[in-house]
């Protein structure tokens, strides 16, 4: 079939929206008609050419939500008409990581996904007979996509898909960092560095866990206002004095849980230093630049602080994304506050511009 899609043709150039060919689903694959897709930093990071693992031509996009239009052979867990959220972090349910409750890093299709292939080593996307590669196993800047069954989370059809798509990446990453990776205990004190999609999700996650005090640190007054809306009890302007200010706020001890959602290694260090001696847990969700390292005084660890990393919030996507969407439907998560701009597929490059200008939290592409 012919679909319209935003193709990364050349790094550091605007994406080119055009008609491409999409082959139907093979065994274990599903054709999804997209209704909405968020524009995320990772798309821009790859488009810019800074990501050393990037490739072109490829159809970008990974924050998708849509409706199943066809299923390939052997697909048993999804049916035509199901509403789904796309997962760049799949859940096969069978690999050594999937059967462990200690990680969400499914091993089933990693290598092929990183190469821009579907699990059988080929692509369903092409143009004039030349293959176009898939991105993050999702390629959702498109009217439709073919994805592995294990990378689709079936959600309650009552959820509006232009909100549900935000659970495909940043929002779930933040919520999961607090709820799954850190497993914040009720009554605790939390500090979240960064009030973008991920940090605001972490603030909401801390609130859902029953944290008593949630301090959010950012450079933007407007974003700190949004953090209050998600449950931050205190807000603070970031900078070199942030650790001293947090220690002062917490009787000299630091927080029970800290979260890093900026991607800046100096802020990661602050997040470690702002964690409490004895049991403070620092969860790093931000992605640092290539080759950057985290500088930590080992004594901080000997005296009981711990550091954890969190990919996609530690969530097993097929099981846990639908649960988060249910909590949104129950009124426990204010997703509307994150949907800042609604754009068309043809305006995808404007989505990047808005993101670079920090105009709003998320631009969402909707497909008519």
Ligand X SMILES: NC(=O)c1ccc[n+]([C@@H]2O[C@H](COP(=O)([O-])OP(=O)(O)OC[C@H]3O[C@@H](n4cnc5c(N)ncnc54)[C@H](O)[C@@H]3O)[C@@H](O)[C@H]2O)c1
For the annotated catalytic residues, the residue numbers are 40-42, 62-63, 92, 95, 98, 106, 110, 169, 362
Q: Which of 279, 115, 235, 260 has the alpha carbon at shortest distance from 173? A: 260
User: Minimal CB distance to ligand X: which residue?
Assistant: 196
Chosen from Zn ion, ligand X, none, partner binding at 256 (C-beta under 5 to 8 Å by type): none
Stretch that binds ligand X, among 97-105, 136-144, 192-200, 319-327 (CB under 6 A): 192-200
Stretch that binds ligand X, among 77-85, 151-159, 250-258, 261-269 (CB under 6 A): 261-269
Distance (Å, rounded) from C-alpha 130 to C-alpha 126?
5
Any contact of residue 277 with Zn ion (CB under 5 A)? no
Any contact of residue 197 with ligand X (CB under 6 A)? yes
Strands (E) in the chain, as ranges, are 2-8, 16-22, 29-38, 58-59, 63-71, 83-86, 125-127, 130-131, 133-134, 144-148, 152-155, 189-193, 213-218, 234-237, 257-260, 281-284, 306-309, 339-343, 362-366
Restricted to residues 269-298, the positions that interact with ligand X (CB under 6 A) are: 285-287
Q: Cβ–Cβ contacts within 10 Å for residue 12, how many?
A: 8
Chosen from Zn ion, ligand X, none, partner binding at 106 (C-beta under 5 to 8 Å by type): Zn ion
Q: Are the C-beta atoms of 333 and 168 separated by less than 8 Å?
A: no
Nearer residue to Zn ion within complex by CB, 106 or 271: 106
Nearer residue to ligand X within complex by CB, 28 or 313: 313
Q: Are the C-beta atoms of 166 and 364 separated by less than 8 Å?
A: yes
Q: DSSP 3-state assignment of 355?
A: helix
Nearer residue to ligand X within complex by CB, 125 or 236: 236
Restricted to residues 93-112, the positions that interact with Zn ion (CB under 5 A) are: 95, 98, 106, 108
Q: Are the C-beta atoms of 264 and 286 separated by less than 8 Å?
A: yes
Nearer residue to ligand X within complex by CB, 46 or 123: 46
Q: Compute the C-alpha angle 54/347/367, nearest 5°.
A: 95
Restricted to residues 320-349, the positions that interact with Zn ion (CB under 5 A) are: none
Q: CB 73 → ligand X: shortest distance, Å?
A: 32
Nearer residue to Zn ion within complex by CB, 42 or 283: 42
Distance (Å, rounded) from C-alpha 346 to C-alpha 243?
44
Per CB under 6 A, the list member of 140, 173, 180, 209 interacting with ligand X is: 173
Chosen from Zn ion, ligand X, none, partner binding at 98 (C-beta under 5 to 8 Å by type): Zn ion
Any contact of residue 64 with ligand X (CB under 6 A)? no
Strands 213-218 and 144-148: unpaired
Q: Which of 348, 336, 335, 318 has the alpha carbon at shortest distance from 143? A: 348
Q: Cβ–Cβ contacts within 10 Å for residue 290, how many?
A: 9
Q: CB 239 → ligand X: shortest distance, Å?
A: 6
Q: CB 309 → Zn ion: shortest distance, Å?
A: 16
Nearer residue to Zn ion within complex by CB, 84 or 108: 108
Each residue 21-60 as x (binds ligand X by CB under 6 A) or -, in order, gives --------------------x-------------------
């Amino acid at each position: 079939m012919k679909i319209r899609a935003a193709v990364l043709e050349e790094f550091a150039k605007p994406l080119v929206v055009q008609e491409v060919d999409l082959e139907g689903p093979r065994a274990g694959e599903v054709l999804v008609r997209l209704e909405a897709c968020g524009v995320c930093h990772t798309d821009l990071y790859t488009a810019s050419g800074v990501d050393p693992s990037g490739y072109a031509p490829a159809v970008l996009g990974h924050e998708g939500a849509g409706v199943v239009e066809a299923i390939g052979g052997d697909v048993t867990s999804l049916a035509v008409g199901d509403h789904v959220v796309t997962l760049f972090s799949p859940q096969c349910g069978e690999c050594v990581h999937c059967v462990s409750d200690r990680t969400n890093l499914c091993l089933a299709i990693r290598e092929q996904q990183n190469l821009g292939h579907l699990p059988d080593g080929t692509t369903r996307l092409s143009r004039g007979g030349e293959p176009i590669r898939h991105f993050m196993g999702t390629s959702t800047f498109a009217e439709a996509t073919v994805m592995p069954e294990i990378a689709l989370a079936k959600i309650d059809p009552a959820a509006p898909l232009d909100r549900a798509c935000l659970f495909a990446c940043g929002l779930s990453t933040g919520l999961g960092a607090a709820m799954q990776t850190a497993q914040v205990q009720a009554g605790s004190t939390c500090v979240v560095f960064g009030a973008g999609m991920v940090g605001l999700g972490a603030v909401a996650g801390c609130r859902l866990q029953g944290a008593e005090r949630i301090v959010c640190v950012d450079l933007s007054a407007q974003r700190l206002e949004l953090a209050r809306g998600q449950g931050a009890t205190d807000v603070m302007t970031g900078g070199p004095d942030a650790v001293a200010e947090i220690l002062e706020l917490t009787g000299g001890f630091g927080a029970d849980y800290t979260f890093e959602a900026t991607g800046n290694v100096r802020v990661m260090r602050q997040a470690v230093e702002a964690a409490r001696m004895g049991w403070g847990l620092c969860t790093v969700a931000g992605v640092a630049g290539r080759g950057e390292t985290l500088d930590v005084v080992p004594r901080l660890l000997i005296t009981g602080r711990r550091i954890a990393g969190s990919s996609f919030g530690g969530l097993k996507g097929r099981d846990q994304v639908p649960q988060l969407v249910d909590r949104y439907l129950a009124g426990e998560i204010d997703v509307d506050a994150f949907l800042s701009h609604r754009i068309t597929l043809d305006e995808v490059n404007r989505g990047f511009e808005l993101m670079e200008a920090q105009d709003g939290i998320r631009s969402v592409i909707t497909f008519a």
